[in-house]
């Protein structure tokens, strides 16, 4: 086992030691692509190192091994300056070079090139002219290009995540970059906040607020900051899940007794009941094609995952192993579900392949909850309880790569991974 | 196996590190000691006399000598059965509501921290429904009792052991206006 540590703290305001975030990545098995990410010429004169962000993004996936770039001078910025024999000797298979230049008042140009070392060929070359404040976002876009070229899958480094932070009696709903940076509070309350869920178009969050001393469903427009209570029926209102067209919410309501699943307009209004069981039906999730709703029901005596047509109708039980399988979420391709499984008093994230019924336990925590797929389907973000506190964690769809984001500042709950950016 | 650790200092919202926020953080120990040392089978009250409406002298709902000051029904793990030891408490509130026709209550169900947050919200509500059912069977009309749940969000005890969990598996009776 090899372990190395990068200290990037200097990048960012040492103002706030309490907010330190530690990202631990564990990989087992599987091949990692050795990639060299050269420091970009001119990088050090900017407020944000582009190459550091690219290397951190790629390294975090567990799919790449970051090759040492020490001692290479001068920094290559053009193909003619690349010594491929040297990179072959360093066993790099891919190489990233680039430069950052001030081009005009308040604008910088970032140019990068990606090479296949063995073929000595260029795989990608892009240039971006941005404000210095956009350098971090630009680095994520570059990492997205590199990731897609080398793996064939879309990168998710430019996406956002949301989660609830609890400190003492204070709750905050935060939105951050996928790497945990740039966290912003979009809502603060002295009452609990639960179950944030992104509209598929990325413009709104639905969540459960207890500001009215009971759970009601609220939709918040992120750009405008406006909120609207969309479900405040007698009893509980919770578990909002968006339809793929962002127009409908499936919700769990108790207005007619025990918790059942209903659908409402994302703007509020009347609720149409979708389930008719004598037990608890909750945690709905639309399939990406909008045809199905997966949900939790204990109609059979223990809570299990079921699915039904999105307009309601006969439900089919999907999980059979164990006495507690809850909280299903569809993968973006609709072929599998992630859910929470209890096994011997421990709660873990598992996945179910719908075509075969094959269940794979992905995590080894004691109290894991709230699985949420990255929009490329490759990672699942979830809440792990460590040392009595909730923390963010992520696991690859095959369970081989595990990340844990340990924040020193509070109890982090109910994460949800946002959609691909639209621009 | 390979392990990479990146130590990052995140730009957090300003509130994350203001000293004001620190003061607002109630130390875990303080909150724990504020909770009466109740066990699942105990009869201690979790009434919090913080609402002015119920502080009037002689109010049987808050008089510690009155059975009505006891508001919490505790449950076994994974169970919503109202145990015999809490029947008297529920019956006392039923009699009070039968006498005072203008009273309405909300029963708030709670769970321990184990399990999925949203499913626990539904389980808490089922506990509240179980208490409501005892009261409606004894004659309180359905419309006077709303059942809601805080799931695992409002634990009375903050530990991660059975002693704490037992205090958190409960349904609380709250009168309108409290």
Contact A170 B12 (CB under 8 A): no
Q: Using CA atoms, how far apart are residues A263 and A210, in angstroms rounded to an integer?
A: 20
Q: Which residue of B has its CA nearest to A251?
A: B118
Question: What was the pLDDT predicted at B38?
Answer: 40
Task: Give how far B120 is from chain A: nearest CA, Å.
Answer: 10
Count of structural domains, chain B: 1
Interface test with A, best of B2, B5, B10, B24 (most A CBs within 10 A): B10
CATH of the domain at B69: 3.30.1330.60
Contact A23 B8 (CB under 8 A): yes
Q: Which candidate from B5, B117, B121 shows the least CB-CB separation from A236?
A: B121
Confidence category of residue B56, pLDDT binned at 50, 70, 90 = low
- Which residue range(s) make up the domain with B134? 2-37+44-175
Q: Using CA atoms, how far apart are residues A109 and A131, in angstroms rounded to an integer?
A: 9
B160 touches chain A (CB under 8 A): yes
Question: What was the pLDDT predicted at A422?
Answer: 80
> Which two tokens mark A323?
């006495």
Q: Which residue of A has its CA nearest to B158?
A: A388
B137 touches chain A (CB under 8 A): no
Q: In chain A, positions 307-366, which contact chain B (CB-CB < 8 Å)?
A: 324, 326-327, 340, 342, 345, 347
Confidence category of residue B57, pLDDT binned at 50, 70, 90 = low
B8 touches chain A (CB under 8 A): yes
Is 50 exceeded by the pLDDT of residue A2? no
B17 touches chain A (CB under 8 A): yes
Question: What was the pLDDT predicted at B23?
Answer: 34
- Averaged confidence pLDDT in chain B: 77
Give tens-digit pLDDT for A80-126. 999 999 999 999 999 999 999 999 989 999 999 999 999 999 999 99
Question: What was the pLDDT predicted at B138?
Answer: 95
B6 touches chain A (CB under 8 A): yes
Interacting residues of A181 by C-beta distance below 8 A, sequence separation 6+: A12, A136, B8, B10, B11
Rounded mean pLDDT, A221-245: 97
Percent of chain A with pLDDT over 70: 94
Question: What was the pLDDT predicted at A74?
Answer: 86
Q: Using CA atoms, how far apart are residues A294 and A328, in angstroms rounded to an integer?
A: 6
Q: Using CA atoms, how far apart are residues B5 and B104, in angstroms rounded to an integer?
A: 56
Percent of chain B with pLDDT over 70: 68
Give tens-digit pLDDT for A292-319. 999 999 999 999 999 999 999 999 999 9
Is 50 exceeded by the pLDDT of residue A76? yes
Rounded mean pLDDT, A343-366: 96
A14 touches chain B (CB under 8 A): yes
Residues of B in contact with A192 (CB under 8 A): 150, 153-154
Q: Which letter does DSSP use for residue B144 in this model?
A: G
Q: Which residues sit opposite B6 in a β-bridge?
A: A6, A23
Interacting residues of B117 by C-beta distance below 8 A, sequence separation 6+: A194, A195, A369, A370, A413, A414, B151, B152, B153
Q: Is B35 helix (H, G, I), strand (E, B) or coil?
A: coil
Q: Specify burial of residue A104 (Cβ count, 10 A radius: 0-12, 13-18, 19+).
A: exposed
State the count of interchain CB pairs (< 8 A) between A and B. Answer: 217
B81 touches chain A (CB under 8 A): no
- CA nearest neighbour of B8 among A59, A1, A383: A59
Give tens-digit pLDDT for B13-31. 233 333 333 333 333 333 3
Q: Is B120 helix (H, G, I), strand (E, B) or coil?
A: helix
Peptide bond into A165 cis (omega under 30): no
């Amino acid at each position: 086992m090899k372990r190395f540590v990068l200290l990037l703290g200097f990048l960012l305001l040492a103002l706030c030691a309490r907010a330190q975030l530690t990202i631990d990545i564990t990989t087992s098995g599987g091949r990692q692509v050795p990639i060299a990410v050269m420091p970009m010429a001119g990088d050090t004169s900017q407020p944000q190192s582009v190459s550091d962000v690219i290397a951190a993004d790629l390294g975090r996936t567990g799919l790449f091994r970051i090759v040492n770039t020490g001692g290479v001078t001068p920094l290559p910025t053009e193909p003619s300056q690349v010594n491929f024999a040297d990179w072959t000797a360093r066993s790099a298979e891919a190489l990233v070079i680039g430069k950052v230049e001030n081009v005009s008042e308040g604008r910088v140009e970032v140019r990068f090139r990606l090479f296949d070392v063995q073929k000595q060929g260029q795989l990608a070359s892009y240039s971006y002219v941005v404000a210095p404040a956009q350098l971090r976002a630009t680095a994520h876009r570059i990492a997205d290009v590199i990731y897609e070229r080398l793996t064939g899958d879309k990168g998710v480094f430019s996406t956002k995540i949301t989660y609830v932070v609890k400190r003492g009696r204070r709750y905050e709903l935060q939105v951050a970059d996928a790497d945990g940076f740039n966290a912003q509070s979009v809502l603060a309350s002295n009452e609990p906040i639960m179950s944030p869920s992104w509209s598929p178009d990325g413009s709104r969050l639905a969540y459960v607020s207890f500001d009215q001393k009971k759970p009601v469903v609220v939709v918040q427009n992120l750009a405008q900051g406006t909120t609207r209570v969309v479900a405040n029926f007698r009893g509980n209102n919770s578990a909002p899940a968006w339809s793929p067209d962002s127009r409908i919410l499936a919700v769990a309501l108790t207005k007619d007794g025990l918790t059942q699943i209903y659908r409402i307009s994302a703007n509020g209004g009347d609720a149409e009941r979708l389930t008719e069981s004598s037990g608890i039906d909750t945690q709905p999730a639309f399939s990406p094609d909008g045809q199905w709703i997966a949900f939790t029901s204990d109609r059979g005596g223990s809570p299990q995952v079921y699915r039904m047509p999105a307009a309601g109708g006969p439900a089919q039980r999907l999980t059979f192993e164990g006495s507690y399988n809850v909280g299903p979420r569809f993968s973006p391709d609709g072929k599998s579900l992630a859910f929470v499984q209890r096994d011997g008093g421990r709660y873990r994230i598992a996945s179910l392949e719908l075509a075969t019924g094959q269940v794979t336990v992905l995590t080894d925590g004691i109290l894991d909850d709230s699985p949420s797929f990255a929009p490329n389907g490759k990672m699942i973000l979830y809440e792990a309880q460590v040392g009595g506190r909730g923390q963010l964690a992520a696991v690859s769809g095959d369970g081989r790569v595990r990340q844990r984001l340990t924040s020193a500042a509070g109890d982090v709950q109910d994460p949800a991974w946002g959609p691909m950016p639209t621009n | 196996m390979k392990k990479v650790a990146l130590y990052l200092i995140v730009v957090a919202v300003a509130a994350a590190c203001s000293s004001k926020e620190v003061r607002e953080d109630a130390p875990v120990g303080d909150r724990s000691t504020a909770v009466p040392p109740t066990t699942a089978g105990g009869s201690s009250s979790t009434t919090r006399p913080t609402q002015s409406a119920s502080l009037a002298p002689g109010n049987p709902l808050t008089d510690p000598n009155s059975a009505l000051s006891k508001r919490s029904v505790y449950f076994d793990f994974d169970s919503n059965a109202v145990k015999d030891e809490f029947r008297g408490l529920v019956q006392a509130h039923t009699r009070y509501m039968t006498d005072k026709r203008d009273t309405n209550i909300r029963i708030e169900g709670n769970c321990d921290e184990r399990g999925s947050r949203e499913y626990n919200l539904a389980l808490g509500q089922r506990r509240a429904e179980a208490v409501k059912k005892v009261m409606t069977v004894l004659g309180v009309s359905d419309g006077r009792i709303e059942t809601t749940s805080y799931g695992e969000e409002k634990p009375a005890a903050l530990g991660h052991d059975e002693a704490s969990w037992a205090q958190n598996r409960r349904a609380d009776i709250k009168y309108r206006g409290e």
